A and B are shown apart, each in its own frame.
Chain A
Amino acid sequence: MSTEAAASAMGRESAWRPSPAARLSGWRLATFLVAALILVPIGIVFSAFLSPASDVWDHLVATTLPRLLINTFWLVLGVGAGAALLGVTLAWLTAVCEFPGHRIFSWALLLPLAIPAYVTAFVVISLFDFTGPVQTWLRSILPPAWFWFPPVRGRLGVTLVMVLAFYPYVYLLARNAFMSQGKRTLEAAQSLRLNRVQGFFRVALPMARPWIASGAMLALMETLADFGTVAVFNYDTFTTAIYKAWFGLFSLPAASQLASLLVLIAFVLLLGEQQSRSRRRFAETRPGVRTERIRLQGHRRWLAFSLAALVLFAGFLLPLGQLLLWAAALVAQEFDKRYLEFLWHSLFLSATAALLTGATALMLAYASRLHQDTATRLAVRIATLGYALPGAVLAVGIFIPVIWLDNWLTGLARRFVDLETGWLVQGTLVAMLVAYVARFLAVGHGPIDSAMHRITRSIDEAARSLGVSGAAMLRRVHIPMLRGGLLTALALVFVDVMKEMPITLMMRPFGWETLAVRIFELTSEGEWERAALPAVTLVAAGLIPIILLLRPTDQGSKE
């Protein structure tokens, strides 16, 4: 009998036990409330089907849509597989193996998260396309007949850049899983006479599956919704059609209809992921019982080192280095004291949004632990769908109901207190933060929910038998055990909000410029190099939570 089967036997017992009291539980109600809130913008997007846009559809089907779908398919497949492969490999190496620099790599490999994918994309094109220094140099030393370079602005280039930008999602989650599996899991595998390779594939990997899957889901959803990176490569995907319908053909209905297909795809993927996961239960051996790492020998050590170093170089050091060079040349012209204000706004928004999103995600994860019925599960899935929509489409979907609310409130104020209130909700930080939560709930939910699955249910029962339940149980029992997952969620959301553009642009109060807004303004007139200064600042600010929140968790469970 495998460990997996043992784990699944352990978890199965408590499924499906709805009691009347549970049905009215506040956790469940709160989950439905969050789902309903997220359903508003998604409903607005879907409501576009009420306005026919068949001419746009006819046109797209007859011209670009087939190619876009093929492009999207390969991109999603490439990024999904690439990010999963790279993330899992690196996570295994840094979590379990010993090779030169493994301690530094274990947190340094998260750094690419801090660089927005569209920035890496532009740097890659600047360096490696025909006019870039690399090809220019090669042309100068090679005879023309020998000169060959793979096309940079193509499928390969965009896939590589997105793998480098998104693998940290998988890496971070998979590494958490491998670290918390504990040495005992591997020892159990060895006692079953599995060698290390078998131990990895038959025990460690299957046990880490919820983490890997939720990391890969984040990468996939981000790839599906991405517009900035593919635009830099001029690689047409499904989102390209969405923006073309909206900005080119002036048809927001058609754009929304296309976008709702993205939501459906994400929903199916999410359900599939959950379905495959819910057949098993994953319980945790006590964390932090690691004894010693697997010492890689001979050339394997250097192979591991080279892989980690290459990824770190290509995904972080190279783009950062180029940005620093550009920024240094322009810092005198571009820098002014307003940058401190941009920085402060970015930090404040990211931190607040991270806390709000983390708290909401924790609530969802706990509610779905307490209540395993279909309705709650569905509500949780719906609540995390905002991440699958292209940012600008979601931004409009949020903006419209906010305006409705405002119109209604100002109407009330006029009628009852004869007061001209102006906007009460729109253009406030509250509206903006709610929008961020709607967008990034999936990012916060993934790590927390996977960590929650790790806590064996016998702990809940033990707690209940001691008279601790509900919020007290969450606070006293679960939160301490979820620490890693919570910190991961906070850091991820922080960094993502920092990089976010469309919602920030549309919902920001007057004068609330952030670093991302600054990047938008410089790049929208093609001044990418001038955007290096805000980009570097943004990367530096994004590093704060990665270093602050994620580094100490390693040390806690080290040796």
Chain B
Amino acid sequence: MISNISARLLIALIGAIGCLSTAGAEEIVVYSARIEQLVKPLFDAYTQETGVKIKFVTDKEGVLLERLKAEGANTPADLLITVDAGNLWQAAREELLKPVPSATLAGNVPAHLRDPDNHWFGLSIRARTIFYNPQRVKPAELSTYADLADPRWRGRLCLRTSKKVYNQSLVAMMIAEQGEAKTEKIVKGWVANLATAPFPDDTKMLEAIAAGQCDVGIANTYYYGRLLEKRPELPLALFWADQQGRGVHINISGAGVIRYAKNEPGAVKLLEWLSSAKAQNLFADANLEFPVNPAVKPATAVAAWGDFKQDPLNVAKAGEFQAAAVKLMDRADYR
């Protein structure tokens, strides 16, 4: 009796181990810093189209990178998705990603939105620009990010905390383009102009502009889109920054194939599909972002904000100069 039970247990155990190792249908494992609501619809669509199953887990970028580092060659992950270029750059530098020389990806993703060595590719564009209260500011008064450091904005500027990677990327790109000394002067000017302590998130900051706590601020466009969907009456307007100069600061949400991917061909195919015309709208529109694929139009609400000139510098610089940006903002007492 007892030996019978233990024999069954043993068989069950072996069976369970067997299940762990044998993959029945094709499967892709994704580590995603892009949240479930924004990736699951895509994965579901992909599974429906191809029959390939996708398992995924979400977490913060930094934690996912540590996880990949710890797992090393045994990692179950095939693809890494993040919501900024800096962390993809860092993943590539830590040799967690594998170059993907794909003509499809090269065709779908503009050169400045992917790694020069093909370790990662942008999948949607996140534009970070200036927002203002039209009751207090005329668009003619606005021009560049740097101009917000001018003393005439004293007590009129709102910013989100420097601890958010979006601001770190913005300042990193400024360092890459204008050098550290000039950037530090600008950031110090911003801090001097602050109307109130930096905000924990973009939405709260936009609300403060609308409520008149300050007149201008810098935010990602999709927060603005989301806020206006809910409260279209808010006195809040978008201004495309730096159109005479370098262009609007952009970041990407993107992905790279894991160096030790168990299903590399599957991951590459998924990545190519994500950059394709049919997936791009699903990817970008879910969060009112811009598609990277130039052949794809953004959602109507997003297109209504008008065309704008993007900063053409490769977004990889956001990673390269991120640490410098963080330190610079600390020196400038930007909290």
Contact = CB atoms under 8 A, between A and B. Distances in A.
Given A252-B66, A407-B74, A526-B223, A420 B21 contact: yes
A511 B55 contact: yes
A527 to B, nearest CB: 8
Nearest to B214: A130
Given A249-B326, A395-B63, A234 B198 contact: yes
Interface string A56-71: 0001100110000000
Interface in B20-64: 20-21, 29, 35-38, 55-63
A236 B335 CA distance: 8
B76 A423 contact: yes
B163 A510 contact: no
Given A130-B211, A136-B211, A526-B201, A421 B21 contact: yes
Given A234-B200, A406-B74, A243 B211 contact: no
Contacts of B326: 244, 248-249
A229 B17 CA distance: 42
Contacts, number: 135
A526 B20 contact: no
A151 B195 CA distance: 13
A423 B20 contact: yes
Nearest to A505: B59
A63 B213 CA distance: 28
Nearest to A512: B57
Interface stretch (A268-276, A396-404, A490-498): A396-404
A232 B200 contact: yes
Interface in A527-545: 527-528
Interface residues of A, number: 59
A506 B335 contact: no
B153 interface: no
A72 to B, nearest CB: 15
B71 A502 contact: no
A478 interface: no
B327 A396 contact: no
Q: A-B pairs with the 9 shortest C-beta distances?
A: A63-B330, A248-B326, A521-B35, A247-B62, A422-B20, A131-B207, A526-B201, A131-B211, A403-B70
Interface of A: 59-60, 63-64, 125, 129-131, 136, 151, 153-154, 231-234, 236, 240, 243-244, 246-250, 252, 392, 395-396, 399-400, 403, 406-407, 410, 419-424, 426-427, 502, 505-506, 508, 510-511, 513, 517, 520-522, 524-528
Interface of B: 17, 20-21, 29, 35-38, 55-63, 66-67, 70-72, 74, 76, 90, 161, 163, 165, 168, 196-204, 207-208, 210-211, 213, 223, 226, 287, 322-323, 326-327, 330-331, 333, 335
Given A130-B208, A250-B322, A521-B35, 20 more contacts: A63-B333, A131-B213, A136-B211, A154-B197, A234-B198, A234-B199, A249-B326, A396-B63, A399-B67, A403-B72, A406-B74, A419-B17, A423-B74, A424-B17, A506-B67, A521-B36, A525-B35, A526-B202, A526-B223, A528-B201
